[in-house]
Amino acid sequence: MSVFDFASHGLSKNKYNKHAWVLGQPEIGERVWIGAFCLIDALYAPLKIGRGTDISSGVKITTHTTVKRAISERRFSEIEKAPVEIGEFCFIGSNAVILMGAKIGHHSVVAAGAVVPQFTNISPYSIVAGIPVKVVGSSKKFLKRIEKESISVVIPAFNEVATLEKVAISAKFVLQKMKMDYEIVLVNDGSTDGTDKIINKLTKNNKRIRAVHHKQNRGFTGAMRTCFNSAKKRLIFLAPADGQFNFTELPDFLEAVRGYDGAFGYRIKLNETIMRKIFSWGFHFLSRILFDIKFREISTVSIWRRQLVQSIKIESEDKSANFLPEMTYKCLKLKARFAEVPIHWHKRRGGSSKGELVRPMVIPRTLVQMAKLWWKVKITYDINSAFWSSCLNLLSAV
């Protein structure tokens, strides 16, 4: 958009806030919030705003000045300009002003009404205030009572004696290198091939590995329900027991979930049989049209904030495969935000698929549960909304 377009049409359209001016082509990261009556000016020089930054109402960020041109009576004819950079996960208070050439480090706080002069360089984790700004503290003080990230890797397993031990050891190896608090929860879903013995051996040798045993097979939703209910850490990473996911890609999810409520993995290349490709396409197609779930995939691996999923009750039948569509839909209704992460998907390390061909009743049960959920959250809700709206209209007419 040019200066002339803005002058001709008034307030320019943008995807952040219809009551804000976003001019030029600023580089704005994901999950940036921009309040009303802000001026984000990238018409003359690059402007970069890092992901997860909140910009409060009335903030002015400019990449140019005409001071010399004005006071020199145009003897100085140029418009001075310089790029502005605001790091990720910053907070900019109401009515703050950030002038050209400024660089604000990540996780910094600019107080309400503060003015950041031209070419000011603010270190990461700074709190600045005043006119002109001065460093008055460190934003790390806000983090003192907030727990650090920790992760529960949850792995449901049904007759995975050929693969589970290698998968658990691989997960442990990567988690140890990441140097964060973790646990691995292995859920034995009524296995009959000795998977329970493998799990017990793993838990005996490592206190960070926990076991949960189902006496009888509960199915996809039943196993995932136990996985989520058993997790104790702040993040829950759901992974398969068949070795198709390489845990060396787990750090990508921890990076992606920063500033988000969760993240879904989607396969770069689908190394599956024709039948499983068809089932996967149908599953995601129905999730999309029934529940408006628009992610590429939700059924490979995923990471969730436990605080979010704790508040959600899953009503789908245990033997169905409707856990993830229901959980995702209900999270989205709570305004949760999810990232997507490309992953490599490998062939099974051993054993056989426990899906549609082995347990054929999974498909009809899942379809029934999807239909029930759709009827409850879409049709019944719309009918009730229409009924109460009609009642209110009648009351207002009396």
Q: What is the structure's pLDDT at 73?
A: 93
Which residues are within 8 A (CB) of 86 and not within 5 positions of it... i.e. 6 or more apart?
48, 49, 50, 53, 61, 92, 98, 104
38 in Cβ contact with 21 (< 8 Å): yes
201 and 332 belong to one structural domain: yes
Angle between helices 362-374 and 219-230 (to 10 degrees): 70
- Looking at the structure, do residues 292 and 355 belong to the same domain, yes or no? yes
- C-alpha 110/C-alpha 98 separation (Å) is 9
Measure the CA–CA gap between 294 and 329, rounded to whole angstroms: 10
Q: Write down the pLDDT at residue 26.
A: 95
3-class secondary structure, 384: helix
- On whether both 201 and 350 belong to a single domain, the answer is yes
CA neighbours closer than 13 Å in the CB half-sphere of residue 391: 6
Q: What is the CATH number of the domain that holds 119?
A: 2.160.10.10
Of 289, 292, 270, nearest to 280 (Cα)?
A: 270
Burial of 301 (0-12, 13-18, 19+ CB in 10 A): buried
pLDDT at position 121, please?
97
Q: How many domains is the chain partitioned into structurally? A: 2
In angstroms, the CA 214 to CA 188 distance is 6
For 20-149, strand residue ranges (E) read 21-24, 27-28, 33-34, 39-42, 47-49, 54-55, 60-61, 64-65, 80-81, 84-86, 91-92, 97-98, 103-104, 109-110, 115-116, 121-122, 126-129, 134-138
Dist. CA 249–CA 269, nearest whole Å: 15
Percent of the chain with pLDDT over 70: 89
Q: Does one domain contain both 138 and 159?
A: no
Residue 247 covered by a domain: yes
pLDDT of residue 370: 86
- For the segment 302-329, the average pLDDT, to the nearest whole number, is 94
Whether residue 241 is contained in a domain is answered as yes
Per residue in 21-46, pLDDT (tens digit) is 999 999 999 999 999 999 999 999 99
Please report the pLDDT score of residue 205 as a whole number.
Answer: 78
pLDDT digits (tens, 9 = 90+) for 183-209: 999 999 999 999 999 999 999 978 999
Whether 181 and 97 map to the same domain: the answer is no
Same domain, 111 and 186: no
Can you spell out the DSSP letters for 240-287?
-SSS-B-GGGHHHHHHHTTTSSEEEEEESS--S-HHHHHHHHHHHHHH
Q: Is the pLDDT of residue 111 over 60?
A: yes
Question: Same domain, yes or no, for 162 and 118?
Answer: no
Same domain, 211 and 357: yes
Question: Which CATH number is 273's domain given?
Answer: 3.90.550.10
Maximum CA extent, the chain: 88
- Confirm whether 387 is domain-assigned: no
93 shares its domain with 174: no
The reply to whether 126 and 200 lie within a common domain is no
Enter the tokens of residue 29.
């990261």
Distance of alpha carbon 243 from alpha carbon 121, whole angstroms: 47
Same domain, 158 and 270: yes
At residue 196, the 3 state secondary structure works out as helix
* Crossing angle of helices 323-333 and 362-374, rounded to 10°: 20
Range of the domain at 11: 3-143
pLDDT at 9 over 50: no
- Termini Cα distance of the chain: 51
Q: What angle do CA 277, 282, 284 make, to 5 degrees?
A: 95
Last-in-domain residue among 119, 143, 167: 143
- How large a percentage of the chain has pLDDT more than 90? 76
Same domain flag for 179 and 315 = yes
Domain-terminating residue out of 88, 108, 143: 143
pTM: predicted TM-score of the whole model, two decimal places: 0.82
Residue 384 lies in a domain: no
Cis preceding-peptide flag for 117 (omega within 30 of 0)? no
